[in-house]
């Protein structure tokens, strides 16, 4: 239990670190939201100064940070100047879509790459193993933006899936079942892109960790005792090989969230990505900071899940034997 | 046996490096290789498809390829067969600065005016896509290399300090690496970019961009370097050198830093394509190098309109160039990595 508490404290410290970093960077920002207004001769400098004061932009960094922390503790995360609302509800309405996309992609990625990696390792050197090695190398080498654009072009050219947005324009008129199918159809392309990009790395790691365990002497002994191949793999190898795979699960989230931002912008999926991008252009800094905080929060949530799974799967962590640092 | 594997590895690495040098030379000599100025517009040829190279005309075979000009029709372009323009090597055309040193107007190939040889078609302003891919590659690849240099410099300094001095310095620095490693880098990159001025000159954007990309990625090389330093710090020859009175800086420079070279080289080959892709992503979003300067990213951003993406597939050329570059770098990183492991 103390293990989980320690991880939680660490996560909170990490979030605090991220927010401090963000505010340090805002200090470097030369422009602000009201710069565009300054060009407009109808708005007097006094009005702009008043607006700046109203949003607290004229305060020193420490004061702004203090206010922001207070607002974050009230679950507001600051105030968006462009949308004229607190940031958190605004982000949350978009974050739901991002979560839908990333969670679907994550489940599919693991559902595909775990069996594939296991299979490739079990039949090492076979046709499938070599095919997986080559294809995953290619997918790792090629940047996500290239994969995304190529798939988007293919899908759009031959009308394989609807392109752009999350729902069709006549979404409101559809029945419940048709609405579901409509969202799934729009979800297909971004999910396929994300799964292709993410699963390559995971298949490789699963394969490597299974191979490592397969070489261990206790597995050789078990094999010598005549235990069937299936039982050997699933009873003796998989639980041990799961440990590095679960640690990887936490790490792979960072890639997935970054990747989903790119895919959201390219495919027009109304998630956090396009919102943060727009906020970047309009210098709506609290929305940008909020977006970063949300993405860090997702990651930490995922890491917590990974920690809990590790605790369940690895007795060494439960008893604290493996915990040296 | 071991030696044979090593030799085979080195041969592969040599070939990959030759390939890579060739690729970079192509980009470096963009002015010479590209037939047109990257900013030269042909307003009468928007979205012209790639020019076809012909060897046969209606009557006979020509050894020298020739092209027909595009003439606009209702739904696109048709080849105007009345006039053929043979493709010549070493022709005079738009002037450019050769390697940034002296003025020249000699091009590797081209056709006589008013013929146009658009090998990869044209964009919305009728600018030659092939020339723009070469010039844009200069920006994108240079951004990747400079950002990698920044990352490796910062990463190795921090890694060496953390590994060599240990104690609370090590713990603080490694805690910070965890902070940087656990952030979704694209959000973070975008965030940092949001705090920098949006509209500045292309040169300043370029340096801001490379610094931002480079400074975000220092954590992984720092960890790797730290690991190498930790293991080499306790080696006998280092202890011996210390016993002879070697100062910290001398030990680091003479005995420890060379050990990190292999790791840094592998990291470089891995990071360059990733940072090129980062520049492409930022410019694609419109946060990077701005028009009219070409970069692979801002060329691709035209494809954000789905109608353009569907109808004018040749505008994906920068993505193809990025693909080729990334694959070569990846193979090199892979080969370097196996060589490092087999030691």
pLDDT digits (tens, 9 = 90+) for B35-67: 888 888 888 888 888 888 888 877 778 788 888
3 state SS of B32: helix
Annotate A211-250 with b (16+ C-beta within 10 A) or e (fewer): bebbeeeebeebeeeeeeeeebbeebbbebbbbbbbbbbb
A31 with B198: Cβ contact below 8 A: yes
B187 with A143: Cβ contact below 8 A: no
Instruction: Judge whether residue B1 has pLDDT over 50.
Output: no
Region for residue B219 given its phi and psi (left: phi exceeds 0; alpha: psi -120 to 50; beta: otherwise)? alpha
- State the DSSP H helix or E strand holding residue B264, giving kind and residue range, or none if neither: helix B261-285
A18 with B179: Cβ contact below 8 A: yes
Residues A4-37: tens digit of each pLDDT: 888 888 888 888 888 888 888 777 666 566 666 6
Q: Which of B182, B272, B304 to mutate to test the interface with A (most CBs of A within 10 A)?
A: B182
Nearest to B196 among A29, A296, A300 (CB): A29
What's residue A324's pLDDT? Answer: 43
Instruction: Judge whether residue B171 has pLDDT over 50.
Output: yes
Collect all residues with Cβ–Cβ distance below 8 Å to B108 and sequence separation of at least 6: B32, B33, B35, B89, B90
B310 with A156: Cβ contact below 8 A: yes
CB A142 within 8 A of CB B326: yes
C-alpha distances in angstroms, B188 versus A120, A308, B13, B65? 36, 27, 34, 50
Residues of chain B neighbouring A31 (CB-CB closer than 8 A): 197-198
Report the alpha-carbon distance of residue B139 to residue B127 in Å, rounded.
Answer: 17
With CA atoms as reference, report the closest residue to A198 among A290, A116, A122, A124.
Answer: A116
What's residue A192's pLDDT? Answer: 93
Nearest to A157 among B176, B192, B310 (CB): B310
CA-based nearest distance A228→chain B, Å: 34
The answer to whether A116 contacts chain B (CB < 8 Å) is no
CB A258 within 8 A of CB B277: no
What's residue B69's pLDDT? Answer: 83
What's residue A1's pLDDT? Answer: 62
A276 with B190: Cβ contact below 8 A: yes
Q: Binning pLDDT at 50, 70 and 90, where does residue B153 land?
A: very high
Report the alpha-carbon distance of residue A288 to residue A265 in Å, rounded.
Answer: 15
Two tokens, residue A223: 């094999």
Two tokens, residue A271: 């998630």
Give me the mean pLDDT over the B84-91 stretch: 82
β-bridge mates for residue B66, sequence order: B54, B86
Instruction: Using CB atoms within 10 Å of the CB of residue A319, give its burial: 0 to 12 exposed, 13 to 18 middle, 19+ buried.
Output: exposed
Give the count of Cβ contacts less than 8 A between chain A and B.
Answer: 141
Instruction: Judge whether residue B128 has pLDDT over 90.
Output: no
Residue ranges of domains in chain A, CATH in brackets: 2-86 (no CATH), 93-314 (1.10.3720.10)
DSSP tag of B50:
P
The pLDDT > 90 percentage for chain B reads 20
Nearest to B186 among A28, A262, A281 (CB): A262
CA-based nearest distance B261→chain A, Å: 23
Residues of chain B neighbouring A279 (CB-CB closer than 8 A): 194
Report the alpha-carbon distance of residue B333 to residue A141 in Å, rounded.
Answer: 10
CA-based nearest distance A134→chain B, Å: 12
With CA atoms as reference, report the closest residue to B154 among B219, B229, B249.
Answer: B219
- State the DSSP H helix or E strand holding residue B62, giving kind and residue range, or none if neither: strand B61-67
DSSP tag of B316:
G
Instruction: Judge whether residue B5 has pLDDT over 70.
Output: no
Three-state SS string over chain A comes to: CHHHHHHHHHHHHHHHHHHHHHHHHHHHCCCCCCHHHHHCCCCCHHHHHHHHHHCCCCCCHHHHHHHHHHHHHCCCCCEECCCCEEHHHHHHHHHHHHHHHHHHHHHHHHHHHHHHHHHHHHCCCCHHHHHHHHHHHHHHHCCHHHHHHHHHHHHHHCCCCCCCCCCCCCHHHCCHHHHHHHHHHHHHHHHHHHHHHHHHHHHHHHHHHHHHHHCCHHHHHHHHCCCCHHHHHHHHHHHHHHHHHHHHHHHHHHHHHHHHHHHHHHHCCCCHHHHHHHHHHHCCHHHHHHHHHHHHHHHHHHHHHHHHHHHHHCHHHHHCCCCCC
The values of phi and psi at residue A58, to 5°, are -90, -5
Residues of chain A neighbouring B309 (CB-CB closer than 8 A): 149, 152-153, 156
Residues of chain A neighbouring B316 (CB-CB closer than 8 A): 149-150, 153
CA A283 to chain centre: 24
CA-based nearest distance A143→chain B, Å: 6
Number of other residues whose CB lies within 10 A of the CB of residue B246: 16
Nearest CA in chain A to B286: A281
Residues of chain B neighbouring A277 (CB-CB closer than 8 A): 190, 285
Two tokens, residue A84: 């004229």
**Greater model confidence, A196 or A169:** A196
What's residue A320's pLDDT? Answer: 64
C-alpha distances in angstroms, B50 versus B54, B118, B126? 12, 6, 11
Is the omega angle on the peptide bond into residue B11 within 30 degrees of 0, that is, cis? Answer: no
Q: Name the pTM for this structure.
A: 0.87
Residues of chain B neighbouring A186 (CB-CB closer than 8 A): none
Residues A39-98: tens digit of each pLDDT: 666 777 777 777 777 666 667 778 888 888 887 787 777 777 777 788 888 888 888 899
The answer to whether A282 contacts chain B (CB < 8 Å) is no
Residues B245-265: tens digit of each pLDDT: 888 888 888 888 888 888 899
CB A296 within 8 A of CB A236: no
């Amino acid at each position: 239990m103390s293990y989980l508490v320690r991880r939680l404290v660490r996560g909170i410290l990490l979030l605090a670190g991220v927010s401090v970093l963000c505010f340090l960077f805002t200090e470097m920002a030369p422009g602000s939201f009201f710069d565009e207004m300054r060009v407009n001769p109808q708005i007097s400098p006094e009005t702009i100064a008043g607006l700046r004061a109203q949003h607290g932009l004229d305060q020193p960094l420490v004061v702004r940070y203090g206010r922001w922390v207070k607002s974050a503790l009230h679950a507001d995360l600051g105030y968006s100047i462009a949308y004229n609302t607190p940031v958190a509800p605004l982000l949350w309405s978009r974050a739901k879509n991002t979560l839908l996309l990333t969670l679907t992609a994550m489940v599919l990625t693991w559902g595909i790459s775990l069996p594939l990696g296991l299979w490739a390792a079990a039949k090492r050197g076979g046709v499938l193993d070599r095919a997986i090695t080559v294809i995953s190398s290619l997918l790792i080498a090629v940047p996500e933006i290239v994969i995304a654009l190529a798939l988007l072009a293919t899908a759009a050219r031959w009308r394989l899936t609807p392109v752009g947005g999350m729902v069709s324009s006549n979404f409101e008129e559809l029945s419940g079942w048709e609405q579901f199918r409509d969202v799934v159809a729009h979800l297909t392309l971004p999910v396929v892109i994300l799964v292709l990009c993410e699963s390559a790395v995971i298949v490789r790691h699963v394969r490597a960790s299974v191979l490592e365990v397969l070489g261990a002497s206790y597995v050789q002994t078990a094999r010598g005792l005549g235990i069937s191949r299936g039982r050997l793999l699933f009873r003796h190898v998989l639980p041990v090989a799961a440990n590095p795979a679960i640690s990887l699960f936490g790490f792979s989230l960072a890639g997935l969230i970054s990747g989903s931002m790119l895919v959201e912008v390219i495919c027009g999926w109304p998630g956090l990505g396009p919102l943060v991008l727009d906020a970047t252009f309009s210098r709506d800094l609290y929305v940008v900071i909020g977006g970063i905080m949300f993405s860090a929060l997702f990651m930490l949530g995922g890491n917590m899940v990974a920690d809990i799974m590790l605790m369940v799967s690895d007795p060494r962590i439960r008893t604290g034997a493996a915990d040296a640092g | 046996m071991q030696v044979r594997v090593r030799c085979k590895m080195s041969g592969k690495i040599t070939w990959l490096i030759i390939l890579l040098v060739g690729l970079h030379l192509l980009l470096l000599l963009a002015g010479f290789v590209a037939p047109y100025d990257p900013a030269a517009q042909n307003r009468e040829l928007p979205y012209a498809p790639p020019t076809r190279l012909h060897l046969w005309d209606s009557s006979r075979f020509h050894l020298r390829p020739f092209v027909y000009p595009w003439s606009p029709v209702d739904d696109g372009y048709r080849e105007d067969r009345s006039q053929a323009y043979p493709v010549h090597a070493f022709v005079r055309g738009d002037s450019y600065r050769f390697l940034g040193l002296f003025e020249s107007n000699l091009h590797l190939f081209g056709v006589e005016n008013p013929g146009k040889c658009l090998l990869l078609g044209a964009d919305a302003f009728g600018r030659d896509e092939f020339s723009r891919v070469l010039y844009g590659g200069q920006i994108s690849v240079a951004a990747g290399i400079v950002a990698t240099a920044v990352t490796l410099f910062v990463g190795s300094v921090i890694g060496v300090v953390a590994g060599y001095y240990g104690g609370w310095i090590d713990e603080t620095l490694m805690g910070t690496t965890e902070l940087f490693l656990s952030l979704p880098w694209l959000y973070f990159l975008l965030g940092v970019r949001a705090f920098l001025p949006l509209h500045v000159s292309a040169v300043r954007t370029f340096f801001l961009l490379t610094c931002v990309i480079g400074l975000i990625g220092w954590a992984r090389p720092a960890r790797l370097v730290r690991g190498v330093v930790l293991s080499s710090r306790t080696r006998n020859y280092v202890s011996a050198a210390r016993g002879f009175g070697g100062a910290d800086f001398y030990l680091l420079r003479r005995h420890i830093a060379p050990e990190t070279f292999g790791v840094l080289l592998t990291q470089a080959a891995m990071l360059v394509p990733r940072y090129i892709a980062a520049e492409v992503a930022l410019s694609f979003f419109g946060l990077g190098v701005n028009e009219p300067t070409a970069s692979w990213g801002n060329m691709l951003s035209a494809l954000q309109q789905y109608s353009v993406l569907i109808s004018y597939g040749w505008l994906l050329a920068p993505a193809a160039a990025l693909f080729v570059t990334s694959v070569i770098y990846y193979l090199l990183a892979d080969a370097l990595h196996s060589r490092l492991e087999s030691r």
